[in-house]
Structure formats: C-alpha cells, structure tokens
Amino acid sequence: MDLRYTPEEIAFREEMRRFFREKIPAEIRAKGEAGHHPSKEDMVTAQRIMNAHGLAVPNWPVEWGGKDWTPMQRYIYTEELMSNHVPGALPFNVAMVGPVIAHFGTPEQKAHYLPRCANIDDWWCQGFSEPGAGSDLASLKTRAVRDGDDYVINGQKTWTTLAQYADWIFVLARTNPEARKPQEGISFILVDMKTPGITVRPIQLVDGGHEVNEVFFDDVRVPVANLIGTENRGWDCAKFLLANERSGIARVGASKANVRRVRELARTVPAGDGSVWDSETFRYKVNSVEIDLKALEITQLRVIANERARGGMPDPASSILKIKGSEIQQRITELALELAGPFALPYHDMEEEIGDGANDLPDGFDWADTVAPTYFNNRKVTIYGGSNEIQRNIIAKMVLGF
C-alpha cells in the first residue's frame, strides 16, 4: 500500500496541467474561477480544443477516441480539468449518451454518432425525468408507439438541462405499457431536436438562470433506427448511464478549487482590525470541510482502484461519492455565502453579458454577486443524479445487504 503518487503520475499531472493552462483560452478559465457559468460558445470551444488533442473522451473505448489510461490517470485528468476551471466536455455527450452508444449501439450507430458526439457537432440533452417520474424514474409515461419504420413519441420530459442549446435528445420512452414490471417496457431512443412536434419551454430557477427546461413531444416521428440496444431493454442503458453519472459526480477537484478560493478571499474581506481569516471559527469551518474533502478524495481513489477488479462495471460504493461529494459542495457554497456577509444581498441578472470585472457597480466586493445565486443553485446537487435519499437506499440495499 502506497498512497503517494508515482513519478509517472506526477509527470502526467504536469502534462495535463500544462495542456489545460496553455490550450484552453484564459478568458474561459477566468469566468469559471469567478463563479460564472460558461456560455454555449465557451463550452463548444473548450471541447473542440480538447477533442483536437484527443482529450475530450478519455473514458470512451480506445477505438472511438478514448485513452488506455489507468483509473488514476483518468482521475488526474478530471482533477486538473476542474482545478483549472475548464468547462469540461459536455457531460450529456461524453459521460452519458456516448458511453451508452459505445456499449449498446450497432456498428453503424457508433460510426455515425460517436465522432460527432466527441466533437460536440451534436449537442445532446437528457430526456429522462418527467413531472411524475423523478426518483421513481421507471414510472415514466412518455410513450413511443411503433408505426411502420418509425416510433411515434408523445409525452413530456422535465429538468432537461440546456435543452435550449441541444441538437439531439436521448429519451427513455415506454414501448410496452403491459410489461410485468415498469422497467421492462422502456426503450432508449435518440431523437433529433429539429423533428416536428418538439417544444422546449424554459424553467427559471431561483438564481435567475434558465439552465433547465420542459420538453414536450407531440406526435414526434422518429426512425426505428434511432433505437439503441433492444426494444423494451432500455432500462439496461439507463442503469448503465446513471451509474456513470454518479461516479463523476463527486467533483473533488472542483471542490478543492472552490475551498482554495474561499481561503484566499477570506484574507481580503475586512472584519474588525483585520480580515475574516482572523476568525478562529471561520478557519475551523474551512479546515473541517478540507478534512472531509481529503477523505473523499482517497475514497474516490479507492473506488477507482477497485474499478479494474470490477471489469469496468459501476461500483455501488460510488453512491458514497455522490452523497459526500454533494454535501461538501454545498458546505463550500455556505462558506462563501458567510464570507460575503452583507454584500451577498445585491442581485445582478446572471444572464446579462459578463465582461471583465463586469460587476460595474460593485457595492462591496466584485466577487460577492455570484455567491448567493451559487448557494441557491447548488441545492440541486443533493437532488439531481439520484437524490441523496435514493443513494442511501442504494447503499443500504446493494452494499449493506438490507
């Protein structure tokens, strides 16, 4: 047992760090550091640069652009990406539909979709949740009826992140309403967002932004060739996808960067004769979250190290990563909120053009205007990707044997 990084791993980290710092435009990374959401253009630019260097889809099979990296290398790549505030390849493309197509798709489907997916020529969104099917996803009602060489889809999806930018949507739809168990009547179907009958309606979140949408399907006709895997076996694709979604979700690198930022900023916030950093109570809270983060990091490495032994199949212990990682993310947003103090109160429209030092009317501190919206927005992290309550059920059943 040796918890130190090997010289090769250290060199690899250097290489990744250099790539992200030299090749991804500084303006994009600065935005991320200041807590602003990247624009659509930012995300496309970043992903295409990574793809041009063969670094957009390292987790994919090698034949489709993946890397034959060790789990540690994949982890280091993700860490450096997050620590350097790089937007990262679109998760719906590279962590969700891409791996599903690579695993369950026909050779023709792989050849057609995967390169476009890696290069974000197609922007994908996720058609899973419905108003009546959140935690209980298997109860979904969106219906796909076979009609000749097509499926006709009717229904409604919700919480569809960035559907307003999307070219394609992957949809879980019910193809057999008579199935014995609801999971056994679901299919995984790819749908072009330009197909007639699709309507996207934005949902405004309390932070003022529009990152999620409702997507309505009204007699949407889709070729049967867009089915991934076997009809009525779509739940296998869903489980595969959801487990992948879960293990990427601890966001250790992002949390490290965020808590580092809190430490730095605390020294600049006046309090009494000094700064907030002089407060023992505040330092105690920062140090406490860093302990949890360190432990999480090592837990993540253990899960990753175990991946090889599991033959690449998702590990139920990754639910711990999701629970702990999301709670830590939230605690850090709380620390930033406390740090901003009275200056978290002013609100600036997040969707206005953000320029350089753009808070042109700072009342307080330049960085304080994103602190409360980030805190509000991040309440979602214990809800999405399988709520933390569901994650606890998964561990209870599949790890602890209840």
3-state secondary structure of 173: strand
> Could you tell me which of 385, 109, 127 has the C-alpha nearest to residue 251?
385
Residues forming the site for other proteins (CB under 8 A): 129, 132-136, 139, 158-159, 203-207, 212, 269-273, 276, 279, 281-282, 337-338, 341-348, 361, 363-364, 372-373, 375-377, 379-380, 382-384, 387-389
> Could you tell me which of 259, 371, 360, 244 has the C-alpha nearest to residue 313?
244
Q: Quick one: three-class SS letters along 250-305? A: HCHHHHHHHHHHHHHHHCCCEECCEEHHHCHHHHHHHHHHHHHHHHHHHHHHHHHH
CA dihedral 5, 9, 15, 19 (to 10 degrees): -80
Rounded to the nearest angstrom, the gap between the alpha carbon of residue 337 and the centroid of all alpha carbons in its chain is 23
Nearer to other proteins, 67 or 392 (CB): 392
3-state secondary structure of 361: coil
CA dihedral 87, 88, 90, 92 (to 10 degrees): -120
Nearer to other proteins, 112 or 380 (CB): 380
We find the least distance from the C-beta atom of residue 243 to other proteins, in angstroms, to be: 20
Helix or strand (DSSP H, E) at 189: strand 186-192
Nearer to other proteins, 17 or 392 (CB): 392
Secondary structure (DSSP) of 31-76: HHHTTPPPPHHHHHHHHHHHHHTT-S-TTS-GGGT-----HHHHHH
Any bridge partners for residue 213, and if so which? 202
We find the least distance from the C-beta atom of residue 146 to other proteins, in angstroms, to be: 28
We find the least distance from the C-beta atom of residue 314 to other proteins, in angstroms, to be: 22
List Cβ neighbours of 3 (8 Å cut-off, separation of 6 or more): 298
Nearer to other proteins, 95 or 276 (CB): 276
Number of residues in the chain: 402
We find the least distance from the C-beta atom of residue 20 to other proteins, in angstroms, to be: 31
Residue tagged active-site, from 80, 245, 297, 338: 245
We find the least distance from the C-beta atom of residue 209 to other proteins, in angstroms, to be: 10
Nearer to other proteins, 256 or 322 (CB): 322
Nearer to other proteins, 167 or 214 (CB): 214
- Is 307 among the residues known to form the active site? no
We find the least distance from the C-beta atom of residue 29 to other proteins, in angstroms, to be: 27
Nearer to other proteins, 158 or 300 (CB): 158
Angle 318-340/388-398 helices, nearest 10 degrees? 150
Residue carrying structure tokens 């303006």? 27
Query: How would you classify residue 231: left for phi > 0, otherwise alpha for psi between -120 and 50, otherwise beta?
Result: beta
Nearer to other proteins, 59 or 370 (CB): 370
We find the least distance from the C-beta atom of residue 188 to other proteins, in angstroms, to be: 22
CA distance linking residue 336 with residue 34, whole number of Å = 12
Question: Is beta strand 168-174 parallel, antiparallel or unpaired with respect to 227-228?
Answer: unpaired
We find the least distance from the C-beta atom of residue 283 to other proteins, in angstroms, to be: 11
* Half-sphere exposure in the Cβ direction for 220 (13 Å, CA): 27
Active site (catalytic) residues: 245
